[in-house]
Amino acid sequence: MLARVELEERHKIAGLIENVIAADGVVTNEEREFLRRVLERLGVASVDREPVSIDPGRATSTLRALPSDTQARVMALLVEGAVVDGVVQPEEHALLLASAATLGIEATALEERIARRLRATNA
């Protein structure tokens, strides 16, 4: 469970999720609610500010620095954050592709996961 991850790492995870949902410059109500639930699950205090996008290189470095047993779960959360509003914008997609590549996840596997999650979200 992610709640067992060290507090500093949970803050990093929250930052990664904030950045994927804000990558396109718009944070929808669905994305805010998703972030609220994730922050609660992580035991990280909510912040009353708009997330600031970071470059994919910094995001992938942060992801790579997480414990290996946490990385796949965080990647799943990043995908969920990107699809929660029913559409994956190009900026979100680029961040997901860079993150997947960092973890050795093939682009086709990521695309399939995104498509499945979008179908479920839009159903």
Under 8 Å between Cβ of 24 and 42: no
Task: Give residue 8's pLDDT.
Answer: 85
pTM: 0.89
The radius of gyration of the chain's CA atoms, rounded to the nearest angstrom, is: 13
Average pLDDT over residues 93-121: 95
Amino acid letter, 73: R
Domain coordinates in residue numbering, the chain: 2-122
CATH architecture, range 2-122: Orthogonal Bundle (1.10)
The number of CA neighbours under 13 Å toward the Cβ of 97 is 10
Measure the CA dihedral 47/50/53/59, to 10°.
Answer: 20
Q: What is the pLDDT of residue 48?
A: 43
Whether the per-residue pLDDT at 94 is higher than 90: the answer is yes
Q: 4 vs 100, which has greater pLDDT? A: 100
In our burial notation (b when 16+ CB lie closer than 10 A, e otherwise), range 46-62 reads eeeeebebbebeebbeb
Through-space distance between the first and last CA atoms of the chain, rounded to whole angstroms: 28
Q: What is the number of other CB atoms lying within 10 angstroms of the CB of residue 105?
A: 17
pLDDT digits (tens, 9 = 90+) for 37-89: 999 999 887 654 445 456 777 888 999 999 988 999 999 999 999 999 999 99
Q: What is the pLDDT of residues 14-26, one digit of tens each?
A: 989 999 998 888 9
Q: From CA 26, how far away is CA 15, in angstroms rounded?
A: 16
> What pLDDT band is residue 97 in, cutting at 50, 70 and 90?
very high
